[in-house]
């Protein structure tokens, strides 16, 4: 006699987000084992020679590096919370585009304007996803109130912390990540980017 219950299975529901988390975790372990050498070589961005091929790897690689376990957990928990829902809505290909675009834009801004600051961590991606998530109920000709509220609270917090709190967090990276997420969210919801 069957009891009507089914076996529960674990589903690999969000390949891009899960892959991103695995790469970040591997980078954290490597950074810990090497005493930060791999972070300096691959997983942070700073002003370096354009002749050095690692410079170009770091323009994207910096989003995978984290300074310590707390830094990693803070970013990854938010990415795991918001990312899978966004990947389901927009598709895996568009999630890769969002992550790489955020990495390149924040990496280039840091490289050009902050030559003596070493930037690492996924916080730009976190804030891109947060702002992107507020576009999930976007309709043609309207701006979601949730987007306006998130943008005001988020940008206000980043400006306040940038001016009044010296906590070694790259507030400009958060703002740029949010702008990238908002811009791509607007484009995707206007139908200019296809779901793959």
List the one residue out of 116, 28, 17 whose CA is nearest residue 64: 28
- Quick: pLDDT tens for 55-102: 999 999 999 999 999 999 989 998 999 899 999 989 999 999 999 999
- Quick: pLDDT tens for 138-151: 666 666 677 777 77
What is the phi/psi pair of residue 23, to 5°? Answer: -65, -45
Distance CA 126, CA 79 (A): 6
pLDDT at 118 over 80: yes
């Amino acid at each position: 006699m069957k009891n009507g219950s089914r076996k529960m299975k674990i589903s690999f529901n969000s390949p891009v987000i899960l892959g991103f988390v695995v790469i970040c975790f591997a980078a954290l372990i490597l950074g810990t084992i090497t005493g930060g050498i791999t972070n300096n070589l691959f997983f942070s961005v700073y002003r370096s020679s354009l002749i050095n091929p690692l410079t170009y790897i770091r323009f994207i690689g910096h989003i995978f590096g984290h300074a310590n376990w707390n830094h990693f957990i803070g970013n990854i928990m938010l990415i795991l919370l918001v990312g899978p829902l966004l990947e389901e809505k927009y598709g895996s290909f568009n999630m890769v585009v969002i992550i790489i675009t955020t990495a390149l834009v924040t990496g280039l801004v840091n490289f050009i304007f902050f030559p003596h600051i070493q930037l690492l961590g996924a916080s730009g991606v976190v804030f891109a996803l947060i702002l992107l998530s507020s576009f999930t109920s976007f309709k043609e000709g309207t701006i979601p109130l949730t987007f306006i509220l998130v943008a005001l609270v988020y940008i206000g917090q980043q400006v306040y912390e940038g001016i009044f709190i010296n906590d070694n967090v790259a507030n400009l990276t958060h703002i740029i990540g949010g702008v990238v997420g908002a811009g791509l969210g607007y484009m995707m919801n206007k139908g200019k980017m296809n779901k793959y």
